[in-house]
A = this chain, B = another copy of it.
Amino acid sequence: MIIVMAPSASKKDITSVIARIKELGYTPHPIHGTTRTVIGAIGDERGKAVLQSIEPMPGVEQVVPILKPYKLASREIKSERSIIKVAPGITIGGTQLLVMAGPCSVESEAQMIETAYAVKAAGAQVLRGGAFKPRTSPYAFQGHGEKGLKILRKAGEAAKMPVVTEVMNTEEVNLVADYADIIQIGARNVQNFALLKKAGKSKRPILLKRGMMTTINETLMSAEYCLSEGSRNVILCERGIRTFEDATRNTLDISAVPVFHERTHLPVIVDPSHGTGHAQYVQPMALASVAAGADGLMIEVHPTPEKAWSDGPQSLDFAKFAELMKALSPFIAAAGKTL
């Protein structure tokens, strides 16, 4: 922390702040400038958020944090990138580009099995599908629950694909982990800390979606919640942030990919379906994500998007998904990766 004193701060104000810094267990380093004094208090600030509490003291203008607040997620702790094993022969974080594809909601067994074969044929390695659905409206389809998990598992086994699905509630973490190879925490639950902790105790890899309102550092703090409970397998997912622009459902922050890669060893994927909200923008943004260095993609695919129970406008049909995978091919190569 750096404590910036106001120009009007008295000698007594400065002395009190220095005393308080010591009391909190830090060593103060005052720098007396021409117009004001700033006081450094360097050391491991983690777990000591109370230093921030100096702000209301008389004469203090600003308290500036210096250290990054995450630790286990940081490259300072682990400089080489994490490679996470999702299933035999399927990893993420190395040179393999991981593509997860499937419908927003698990609707029926026929829909899931048809989709599983189609996305696998086009090159996807992981099947997605929602059984517990976070919907803005209580009157909208809320997902098939456990029945949906069973269908998803069955479709995954049919096509020999690992599956990923969302968990929304601490009470269902174990249930979801029984059926899924990867458990997903959705954007709206990115700061549902009870859920993060529970998921962090699971043996399954966690796919953690960035919230539409969380900064990159806050997302890493959410990952830190999982890691601090014992998990080592957190995959981050950029899926668009909320801005003033309304041409797209969210603004896909592709620059989050290099920023995450700089700050953390965890793999990073991009979801251009939620990120744009419109099927016609999914392909260019998938290509851009791979070019920016993403470790994987998550794409919504539905046999008949105009009949999807949810997220139809942003879903690709099988032909468009196959086209996307074909278009992706030279970009994957250019990025030094393989499927």
* Inter-chain contact B213/A213, CB cutoff 8 Å: yes
- Scan A27-40; emit 1 where CB is below 8 A from any B CB, else 0: 00101111110101
The answer to whether A251 touches B243, judged by C-beta atoms less than 8 angstroms apart, is yes
Q: Chain B contacts of A225 at CB under 8 A?
A: 138
Q: Is A293 an interface residue (CB 8 A)?
A: yes
Residues B289 and A191 in contact, CB atoms below 8 Å apart: no
By the criterion CB–CB under 8 Å, are B137 and A69 in contact? yes
Measured in the bound complex, the distance between the Cα atoms of B71 and A298 in whole Å is 34
Which residues of chain B have C-beta atoms less than 8 A from A108's C-beta?
none
A221 within 8 A of B: yes
Instruction: Among B50, B251, B256, point to the contact of A309 (Cβ < 8 A).
Output: B50
**Cross-chain contact B255 with A276 (CB below 8 angstroms):** yes
Q: What chain B residues lie within 8 Å of A281 (beta carbons)?
A: 255, 258-259
Among A215, A217, A256, A293: residue with most chain B CB under 10 A = A215
Closest Cβ of chain B to A292, distance in Å, is 4
> In the complex the two chains form, is A251's CB within 8 Å of B248's CB?
no
Q: Which of A48-81 contact B (CB under 8 A)?
A: 49-50, 52-57, 62-64, 66-67, 69-71, 76
Q: Is A140 an interface residue (CB 8 A)?
A: yes
The contact of A247 among B44, B216, B221, B310, by CB within 8 Å, is B216
Question: Could you tell me if B40 and A38 are in contact, using CB atoms closer than 8 angstroms?
Answer: yes
Question: Of A93-101, A152-160, A168-176, which binds chain B?
Answer: A168-176
Looking at A84-92, A110-118, A123-131, A300-308, the stretch in contact with chain B turns out to be A300-308
A312 contact from B55, B70, B275, Cβ within 8 A: B55
* Bound Cα distance A242, B46 (Å): 24
Q: Check: A211 CB closer than 8 A to any chain B CB.
A: yes
Which B residue's beta carbon lies closest to that of A251? B253
Which residue of the partner chain B has the closest CB to A7?
Answer: B76
Interface residue total, chain A, C-beta cutoff 8 A: 114
User: CA separation between A67 and B64, bound complex, in Å?
Assistant: 12
* Integer count of this chain's copies in the complex: 4
B-chain residues with CB within 8 Å of residue A20 when the two chains form the complex:
306
Tell yes or no: A147 within 8 A of B by CB: no
| Cross-chain contact A139 with B47 (CB below 8 angstroms) | yes
A213: shortest Cβ distance to chain B, in Å? 3
Say which residue of B194, B248, B257 sits within 8 Å of A255 (CB atoms). B248
Q: Given A244-B215, A333-B330, answer yes or no on A43-B34 (Cβ-Cβ < 8 Å).
A: yes
A244 cross-chain contacts in B, Cβ below 8 A: 213, 215, 241-244
| Chain A residues within CB distance 8 Å of chain B | 2, 4, 7-8, 20, 29, 31-36, 38, 40, 42-44, 46-47, 49-50, 52-57, 62-64, 66-67, 69-71, 76, 134-142, 168-171, 188-189, 191-195, 197, 211-213, 215-218, 221, 224-225, 228, 241-248, 251-259, 262, 275-276, 278-281, 284-285, 287-293, 305-310, 312-313, 315, 330-331, 333-334
> A243-B243, A248-B255 known; 8 other A-B pairs, CB under 8 Å?
A2-B2, A33-B42, A49-B140, A53-B312, A56-B313, A168-B194, A215-B247, A252-B255
Give 12 CB contacts A-B under 8 Å.
A7-B76, A32-B42, A35-B42, A47-B139, A53-B312, A55-B306, A55-B312, A248-B259, A255-B275, A258-B284, A258-B285, A330-B333
